[in-house]
Structure 1
Amino acid sequence: MDSPAPPKFREVVDSNGRIYRVGETDRDIMGRARAWMVWLPWVAMMAISSSEYAFTSAEDTLSEAHNWHGAHIFWLLGVWVFFQAGVAFPAGRMRENGTLSARAAMLLGAAGALLGYVALAYSPSVFWAYLGFGFFGGSGAGFVYATCVNMVGKWYPERKGGKTGFVNGGFAYGSIPFIFLFQQYLDLGNYRTVLFVVGVFLAAAVGVSGFFFRDPPKNWWPPHVDPLRAATDDPRVRRSLRKNPPALKQYTPREAFKTGVLPLMWFCLLCTAGVNIFGIAFQVPFGEEMGFAGGIVALAMSLKALINGTGRGVIGWISDRYGRRETLVIVCVTLGLAQFAVYLSGSVGNMPLFLLSSMVSGFGGGAIFPLFAAMTADYFGENNNASNYGLVYSSKLVSGLVGSGLGSVVVGAWGYGGAFLLAGGIGIGTGVLALFLRRPRLTVTPPRAPASLRPATEAGGTS
């Protein structure tokens, strides 16, 4: 049978020299609606979230079962976060140069998720736990995270905030069933079986979802949105593009770094992610030390994860309406103030305030990630966003170790009071730094020729 003729597309060039590929619909490219590239990444993100957000709920059982020193739990989480963030940039580069497809990246992530849980269940020594859970589990989660977040931004370049936030939110509230499972039902008699079954289930969810992943072509722009005349489009699109205008060009990682904006974003994410991970790692032991029952602590962590996840979608929608930077400043300050509230409520034994503070902390800690993901594409373009956001997200290499591992050192030296006060101050200080974030200007002024349409050509497949 003769294959159908490839769809036609045109390349539109704006006055800054940026190219937009228009004419092809999502169904022309992959045979189905682009909404699939929201729902499938969302499922995969939920599947990998338990390793970060539910892990400390299994602290007591794992420490007793393997005879691990208590600090190993926090350093294990720190190592997991280190590798989860560390693979973001190399995975992004391989995705963009064609050596690693989206499907292959997701299958690697599925294998890593399974190995991570197997290591927790059967490791004969803590070294194998660091290797299996920290290295393989963290790296696998990094492949999934980087692929899912950037996939959404590519398919929704005109209104990426809400969609990116929704997918990113799965990385938090997907862990809620496992927080209760590990906190309430995991024990010395069943931990191996439970962890193995959970690992198989989560790996299957990641692998099946990732099997259907597909990237749009470079420079793709949805045909129903005119990239040169946004004022005539849907009101939501018009408002989003006015508050968060597209990047002036498609920046390479080297070009993005030289603007100075990307390093500042890196440092801001380092600080806020460190505060978020500190809360994830120490809220459970802090609550227990303050006398709250295990069920209350599990409820607090579940609410934290729920608000952390749902807040990502809400904050993405808000940033579409009111601007990415303005929203980020408010989120950073909220995250900092929440640390003070968590410590105060725990110290006085006020359970309702403790739960509320935990939810506010979860909201602030989760909202930062979709904001930075969408802001990276806003500032530097979509074509190299996997690499550019990989550079920004690599700050979590440090923040994971600082928030979890070094956080345990600070708690030991200054107590919970000093640690939570320090975390709160860092969050508020980051809000001040975020005021200096700006979309980079072009260093070379492009020729002021009127925008034009290039001759129609045949689409030669995705790139």
Structure 2
Amino acid sequence: MSAIVSPQQTVATSSTELKGRWIQLALGVLCMMAISSPQYVWALFTKPLLGQVGGSLAQLQVTFSILIVLQTFFSPFQGFLVDRFGPRLLLSLGALLTGLSWVLSANAHSVGHLYLTYGLLGGLGTGIVYVGVVGLMVRWFPQRRGFAVGMVAAGYGFGAILTTFPIASSLASVGYAQTLTLFGYIIGAVGLIAAQGIKRPPSHAAMLSGHPAQKSAGVGPGAMLKTPVFWLMFAMMTMMSTSGLMVISQMGAFAKDFGVASVLVWGMAALPLALTIDRFTNGLTRPFFGWVSDRIGRENTMALAFGLEAIAMFAWLGLRSDPLWFVLLSGVVFFGWGEIFSLFPSTLTDTFGIRHATTNYGFLYMAQGVGSILGGPIAALVHQSTGSWVPVFGMMIGLDMAAALLALFVLKSLRARYMAAR
């Protein structure tokens, strides 16, 4: 005779299983830290790689563009694979591809070889892990999505802090080839080991929360892409990605033009000091505003954070010749920007549910790729045509304020109507 399981026993079992979500969060953070270096320490490799593979700096920088574009534009497909074949297998594959991209890049003798190794393999590998981990956390933490996604996104932001100085030291002592090989093995091994403990939450876990998003648990990407609320979120994430990636890609150039790059602040040159502070605030803001949004609402938090970045960039531009304010306000700018990687995936899953969360976020994450184009080469062309950074900053401030107002006065009501209709 088969055993009969009571509802009370099911809830008790589910509660026990959910205690393991903190382990899943820790493993997710570790996976994200492992794959962060290809993006954040690329600048350390440009000079030695240029001497090895030849070509121009512009040609070499295409490698970085390929990395980011493939990481974002292929994310819907990567998210589908994670949903289809499970997180452990795909995250393991992503970690191995990321590590392999560095190992193979160590033997590159042409720019085209780097495009295929560091760019292609690295972009696919990091994209699988990033989208997979984010999609998993929104399922494990149905009532704390903002905080959980913020924590793993912070892992991606903080991870390079641990590797930047060791990689710089290794480059100085043994050269780029051995450095890429050694850290490629480390990246692949750490990510692979962490991925072995990753698993899906129990199918009934989200139901325990009583979260209202369960009413829309079955919305897939096909239906989602037909809704105005998704495209509004896509436009807003593009706006915010553009402003933040403009600063990331152009900061060295405008710091030099402002005359503050090499000025000492607290005994350090202003530009590297600002970059160090930026990495910290860019990581800190993700769990912080994610936690805030779990309490005061997603749209209210968006308006607060996006408005903060707009104000900080306005003050940054006005005080651009003061090296101390340049350093301090750069940190505030990133504190108002990095939270997009916790707020948008949380809002998306709140709206369209958990069943297709990973694939759905893959489509939204493509906005980051669009922002990298607008904030990188397009912003540079605006500066080139005008001969000034003021119009560029003005455009970015306008995008930040528009996103803040859209969150408060359009997205909030539009999303409420959509969820009420479902």
Between the two proteins, what is the percent identity of the paired residues?
25
Residue number in structure 2 paired with 1:35: 22
Deviation at 1:324, TM superposition (A): 0.5
Decide which moves more: 59-68 or 153-162: 59-68
2:119 to 119, 122, 134: 134
Instruction: Name the CA distance, whole Å, in 2 between partners of 1:124 and 1:91.
Output: 30
Residue number in structure 2 paired with 1:273: 241
Residue number in structure 2 paired with 1:88: 75
- CA change 1:44–1:318 in 2 (3 A) is same
TM-score, normalising length: structure 2: 0.87
2:415 to 428, 439, 442: 439
> Partner amino acid for 1:312?
R
- CA change 1:286–1:221 in 2 (3 A) is same
Deviation at 1:47, TM superposition (A): 1.6
1:322 to 296, 303, 310: 296
Residue 62 of structure 1 contacts residue 68 of structure 1 at CA under 8 Å; is this kept in 2?
Answer: no
Once the two structures are superposed, what CA deviation does each residue of 1:155-210 show, in whole Å capped at 9, x if it has no partner?
11122211221111111111123344566774596122222222221121111111
1:193 to 174, 178, 188: 178
Instruction: Name the CA distance, whole Å, in 1 between partners of 2:283 and 2:418.
Output: 35
Residue 53 of structure 1 contacts residue 305 of structure 1 at CA under 8 Å; is this kept in 2?
Answer: no
Once the two structures are superposed, what CA deviation does each residue of 1:427-450 show, in whole Å capped at 9, x if it has no partner?
22222222311435469978xxxx
Instruction: Name the CA distance, whole Å, in 2 between partners of 1:275 and 1:174.
Output: 22
Once the two structures are superposed, what CA deviation does each residue of 1:69-106 show, in whole Å capped at 9, x if it has no partner?
2323543322211111123211222233x3x2211111
- CA change 1:445–1:53 in 2 (3 A) is closer
Instruction: Name the CA distance, whole Å, in 2 between partners of 1:443 and 1:174.
Output: 36
Secondary structure, counterpart of 1:107 in structure 2: helix
Once the two structures are superposed, what CA deviation does each residue of 1:1-59 show, in whole Å capped at 9, x if it has no partner?
xxxx9994759xxxxxxxxx955426448xx7221110000011112122222323444
2:42 to 44, 55, 66: 55
Instruction: Name the CA distance, whole Å, in 1 between partners of 2:120 and 2:286.
Output: 27
Provide the alpha-carbon RMSD of the alignment. Answer: 2.9
Residue number in structure 1 paired with 2:216: 249
2:402 to 407, 422, 429: 429
Residue number in structure 1 paired with 2:378: 406
Residue number in structure 2 paired with 1:451: none
1:152 to 133, 137, 141: 137
> Partner amino acid for 1:252?
G
Residue 271 of structure 1 contacts residue 427 of structure 1 at CA under 8 Å; is this kept in 2?
Answer: yes
Instruction: Name the CA distance, whole Å, in 1 between partners of 2:289 and 2:63.
Output: 30
Is 1:76 matched with 2:45? no
| Pairs aligned (count) | 409
Once the two structures are superposed, what CA deviation does each residue of 1:357-384 show, in whole Å capped at 9, x if it has no partner?
2211221221111000110111111111
Secondary structure, counterpart of 1:35 in structure 2: helix
Instruction: Name the CA distance, whole Å, in 1 between partners of 2:362 and 2:6.
Output: 30
Deviation at 1:402, TM superposition (A): 2.6
Is 1:418 matched with 2:391? yes
- CA change 1:135–1:283 in 2 (3 A) is same
Deviation at 1:247, TM superposition (A): 5.2
Decide which moves more: 188-197 or 139-148: 188-197
> Partner amino acid for 1:355?
V
- CA change 1:389–1:210 in 2 (3 A) is same
Residue 161 of structure 1 contacts residue 374 of structure 1 at CA under 8 Å; is this kept in 2?
Answer: yes
> Partner amino acid for 1:317?
W
- CA change 1:76–1:333 in 2 (3 A) is farther
Equivalences for residues 280-319 of structure 1 within 5 A:
280-288=248-256, 290-293=259-262, 295-319=269-293
> Partner amino acid for 1:368?
I
Instruction: Name the CA distance, whole Å, in 1 between partners of 2:62 and 2:420.
Output: 47
> Partner amino acid for 1:167?
V
Residue 74 of structure 1 contacts residue 281 of structure 1 at CA under 8 Å; is this kept in 2?
Answer: no
> Partner amino acid for 2:67?
W
Instruction: Name the CA distance, whole Å, in 2 between partners of 1:277 and 1:110.
Output: 25
Residue number in structure 2 paired with 1:236: none
Residue number in structure 1 paired with 2:190: 205
Equivalences for residues 335-354 of structure 1 within 5 A:
335-345=309-319, 347-348=320-321, 350-354=322-326
Deviation at 1:394, TM superposition (A): 1.6
Is 1:397 matched with 2:369? yes
Residue number in structure 1 paired with 2:265: none
Residue 277 of structure 1 contacts residue 404 of structure 1 at CA under 8 Å; is this kept in 2?
Answer: yes
- CA change 1:26–1:73 in 2 (3 A) is farther
Structure 1 regions of 5+ residues with no counterpart?
12-20, 228-240, 447-463
> Partner amino acid for 1:292?
A
> Partner amino acid for 1:253?
P
